[in-house]
Structure 1
Amino acid sequence: MFDPIQNLEALDLSNNKLKSLDFLAKVNLTKLSWLDLSQNELTMINVSVFSFLPALKYVNMADNPFTCDCTNSDFQQWMLNNNQTQLVFAHSYTCGFPLAKKGTRFLDFDYHSCWVDASFICYISSTCVIVLTLLTSFTYHFLRLHLLYAYYLFLAFLYDAKERKRGSPQRYDAFISYNVHDELWVCREMLPVLEGEQGWRLCLHHRDFLPGKPIIENITDAIYGSRKIICVISHHYLESEWCSREMQMASYRLFDEQKDVLILVFLEDIPAHQLSPYYHMRRLVKRHTYLSWTQAGQHPGLFWQNLRRALDTPHADLDLNE
């Protein structure tokens, strides 16, 4: 229909119930400058059709039920940024869809939200959550001991630097690390001998920890404020979180200072597999200060004598590479 009139300059297609302008992409109206598309049923505009009308200067699209969503964002940007073609009555264009926006101005629709790809954001967010979950699970399962070691080593470094700056002497001969279930043995058996008979200055958490101070700081002060650390080991001790931290902090001091400051006292016969978390430490110190209450038998005096020798022994250098 348009082939014989390629010199057409004005075209009135108003009130024709047009639903699309795609047919304009097939015409060769290079001189068309005025186009009336008012009072049709245009909802979505494909702006690429205007590239086939290079001479177009005026367009009237009033009274069309435009869709005000991201599918028409290109048309809105073309309306605002096009410097060649003037849209007549553009500020009067209203939305026909969706129903929630019906009657509002087409130019009031915020097309900037269309630049955000919600599905892509959901994909990235879910991927990050999955990766973070996997990393957290991997770290907890395989690296938690290393991270805990680094944390306590950092605390030990801070404490050691603070104490060197203050020049504070060690207040106790030994810090007793024990579980609350073994407190009766510590109070009835150990304290009367070590403090009463032998005269050592001992630090016990239920008696000497400063009230109101964080537990980890009390533990650090006690371990670094004592010449030796005596760990009273039992099944309850191995199952205790705080006892485990005391043991770790003591072992960190041993590795940090490379001095024989740790004394292990076993109240019970414990299979080697239950000591696996402390296997390296047990192998390191059993040659020097490993004591067993169960093996004392009928000769407890020899047990206390050996413990006294261990407390009285100056710090010996350790070969931690063995």
Structure 2
Amino acid sequence: MKPWTFQITIYNPPLNLSKIFSNLISLQTLNLGKTRLYVMPENVFMHMKNLSRLYLNSNRIASWDGPKVFGRSKSIKRLRLLGNYVTVVNQTSFPESLLVSLEELDMSDNHFSCTCENLWFRSWIRDNQKKPKYKVKLVNYKNYTCKSPKKMSDAGVRFIDYNPTKVSCTEEPVWMYAIVAVAALIVITVAIASVLYKCRWNIRYKIYLMRRYKYTRIPNEEEFVYASYVIYSDNDREWVHDVFRKRLEDTEGIRLCVRLRDFEAGKSIVDNIAENMHLSRKIVIVISNNFAKDEWCRFELFLAHHRCVSNEDGLVFVMLNEVNSDNLTESLHVLITSNSYALWSEEETGETLFWEQVIEQLK
């Protein structure tokens, strides 16, 4: 029977992969590369008894629970984890049963930390090359580099040249006065950080005004370059560029300012944001769960309120998707409940109404 191969594209993980693959008992090759996975799915691969090739390259995986991900799997022979964000590999990352069956492991282009946390992995690589306990071929291991600490990263130190010992990684006893001093420093640092965090947007805005005071004047109608500046999360950029911008610019002739296209290279992001808002007649705010979690979106929203403080019609609100209660801050709740907004819908009637509301406010 021809081996089964399966490739899937995931855009807003996590999906319930257990349900998706539960009946694929003959699957031998599974390619989950470039699917934006942040975590390895648990209780999935261990039940795929015929899975021999697993590709998880070019994702955003940083760590995983080996026993929960691989269990006692003995079928996987080729595992690719290259191009992820792995910093530490420890003794539980790869269960014994997996290492026995594994023939090829590729962890190239990861963010390895050259600290005592990786002592086991460094030792395992060396032992595997000198006196291999397993038949695993570690692909391109000589080119693994230290991404942290910064001193090692800047010096281009290879991971295999990182040379700690068990003695050097043993914690030294800490004297009582040192504990008190460190604790006091932490308390002071946290207190200062808390104050700065609460005032962060005011601080950034004041700094901007000091540097760019000439942009405080609102331009005349004929001086505007854009019909609207668009505030959106990078995670929503596909919809903003491929749907929102395309319809308004290509069909309606309404020129928008979108940062990935219109920001000036080499200029600071704060200056780009404020100057392009200044050149835009209105500001569109694309609200979504991604927006609610985005620090830069909150900063742009802060500037937008100052930019339109005397013009209530200067802000146009678009609801891409309803914000979950977990992401709904008090200020965002007030924003949503006190303003009217156009709600995006993929249903024909809802979509028509959405475009009518947006176009009416922008023209």
Relative to the length of structure 2, the TM-score reads 0.43
Give the number of the structure whose alpha-carbon radius of gyration is greater. Answer: 1
| Structure whose residues are more often helix by fraction | 1
| Higher relative contact order, structure no. (Cα contacts within 8 Å, ≥ 6 residues apart) | 1
